[in-house]
Amino acid sequence: MHTTGQRGLWMVAILALLGAIGYVALRPPSPASFDAALPAPTVGANLAAQAAPDNPFAQSAPASPDSPPVGEWSMEGLNPARTRAVETPIAPPLNQQRVIVTASFEEGVSPPVIARGLMLLETKDALSAIDLRTGRQRWAYRQKGAYISPAIAGDTVYFRAEQANQGQLVALELSSGRQRWAFTPKRLSAAANNYFGGHLTSPVVVEGVVYVGAGKELYALDAISGKMRWEFSAQDFITSSAAVADGRVFVSDFSYFYAIDLTSGGLIWSYPAHSAVYFSSVAAGDLVLISSGQNLIALDVRNGARRWEKSVSGKSLIPAGAQGDTVFVKTTNELFALDRSDGRELWSFRDVNYVSLPALTQEYVFVVNGMGAGASVVALDMTTGANVWSQPVPRLATTAPVIAGRAIYVRTTDGRVIELLS
C-alpha cells in the first residue's frame, strides 16, 4: 500500500504526462459547492469565426457493435478498447485549415468528441455542441465543474461533472442538450487520501451500458434510464478510466488492475499494480496494455498472465494506442511503436519538449509535438516512424489530435479548435 507521501511524488512525475484526458482528474476539488440542480440547456450565439463550404464529416455503419460509425470519434480513445485507431483513410499533406470554433475554457483542454455532424467540447462552465458544417453552437449545457471526455452513443451524450468533491454523470439528448438523467455515485475521493484518485472517470459506452468509475467503485449504468445494473468494489481508489474488450471491463486502482465481467460485474482476474495507474489501459487483440510503476506491461486478456514488459530508464510509460500488430506507448516526449506479440521496439519518435498521444490510421501516426511557437501536427509512417509531413500550428494544446471523416482536429491554448484537411 502506498503512503500519501509516496502518492504525492508519483503525482508530480505523472502530471507531466497529462496531455490526454483518458485519466482520472488529479487536482483537489475547489471550495465552491456543486450545483445539484442541473439547469436546462441554453442555445448560444455563434462561437466560430469561419464556416467551410464542404463538410468533411462522413458517417456510415460501424464495423462492429463496439466500434463507432466510420467518420466519428465518439469517446476518449475513439472506441471502448481505447485503441485510437480509425478505419477511415486520411493521408498528408493536410494543407487546408479552418478554425471551427473559438471558445473560452478554464484549466485543462480535453480532446473533442465528434458524432452526427456535431463536435462536443468543454468550454468555460459548459459542455458545448458545435455544428461542424457551420461552426455555430447548437446548444450549451451550463454546469460548473470539471468536464472530461464526453462519450456519444446513439442520440445521447454522457459526461461527468465534478466540483467540491461532489459530482454526477449526466446524460443529455444529443440534438438538443436536454437532460435525460443524472447519476450520483455514493462517494468520490477523500480528504484522508489528499483527494488523490477516486474522481469520476471518462465514461465508456458499450451495447446500451455506461461504465464509469468513482471513489472505490466501478458502476455499470443502463444507458437509457441511468439505473445501476451492477457495482464493482475495488480495493482502493479508482485511478483510471475503464476500457472494454472481449467481454471484460478493465480498470485500475492504487493496488491492482482488474478484469471484470461485462455482464455480471464479477471479478475475472486481477494483477498487482505496483503504483498508481492514471491513464486508461489499451486493449489490443488478446492483450491489454497497462502501466505499473514506470513500466508498461502487456497482459493476456483471458487470464491476466504477463506476456511482456517494456521499460525506459528514468521515465514513466503509458499505453498510447494500437493498430493491427503494432502497439504504442509513450513518455512525456517520446512515442514508441512496439511489436504486439513480444514488445520488441520497431521505432521511436522524440521531441525535446513534448509528444502527444496519437491518432492512428492504417498507414500513418498523427501526433502533436513541441510547445508554444514551435508546436506542430506531425504525420509519421506507420511502418518506419519516418516523419513524412509536419504542419506548424502555433499555440497548440498538448491535447491529442482526433480524426473524423477526412479531417484531423486539434485544440489550441487560446481556445481554438482547428480542422486540418487534405
DSSP class of residue 382? T
User: Is 42 part of a structural domain of the chain?
Assistant: no
pLDDT at 28 over 60: no
d(CA 327, CA 345) in angstroms, rounded, equals 10
Q: Using an 8 Å Cβ cutoff, are 152 and 175 in contact?
A: no
The tally of CA atoms less than 13 A away on the side-chain side of residue 159 is 33
Q: Total domain count for the chain? A: 1
Q: What pLDDT score does 319 carry?
A: 95
User: Is 299 part of a structural domain of the chain?
Assistant: yes
Q: What percent of the chain has pLDDT above 90?
A: 60
Written as nine digits, the cell of 119 is 463536435
User: Is 378 part of a structural domain of the chain?
Assistant: yes
User: Is 253 part of a structural domain of the chain?
Assistant: yes
User: Is 40 part of a structural domain of the chain?
Assistant: no
User: Is 279 part of a structural domain of the chain?
Assistant: yes
d(CA 223, CA 115) in angstroms, rounded, equals 17
User: Is 123 part of a structural domain of the chain?
Assistant: yes
- pLDDT tens sequence across 310-358: 999 999 999 999 999 999 999 999 999 999 999 999 999 999 899 999 9
d(CA 241, CA 24) in angstroms, rounded, equals 6
d(CA 17, CA 6) in angstroms, rounded, equals 18
Query: Looking at residues 230-243, what average pLDDT do you find?
Result: 94
Residue 162's pLDDT band, with cuts at 50, 70 and 90, is confident
Give the CA radius of gyration of the chain: 20
For residue 7, the SS3 value is: helix
Total residue length of the chain:
422
Q: Using an 8 Å Cβ cutoff, are 197 and 238 in contact?
A: yes
- pLDDT tens sequence across 50-97: 333 343 333 333 444 455 555 899 999 999 999 999 998 898 999 888
Report pTM: 0.85
User: Is 98 part of a structural domain of the chain?
Assistant: yes
- Which among 206, 366, 343, 219 is positioned nearest to 284, based on CA atoms? 343
CATH number of the CATH domain containing 113: 2.130.10.10
For residue 408, give its domain range: 4-33+50-421
Residue 144's pLDDT band, with cuts at 50, 70 and 90, is confident
pLDDT at 35 over 60: no
Mean pLDDT of the chain: 83
Q: What pLDDT score does 197 carry?
A: 84
- Which among 186, 188, 116 is positioned nearest to 146, based on CA atoms? 188
d(CA 391, CA 409) in angstroms, rounded, equals 13
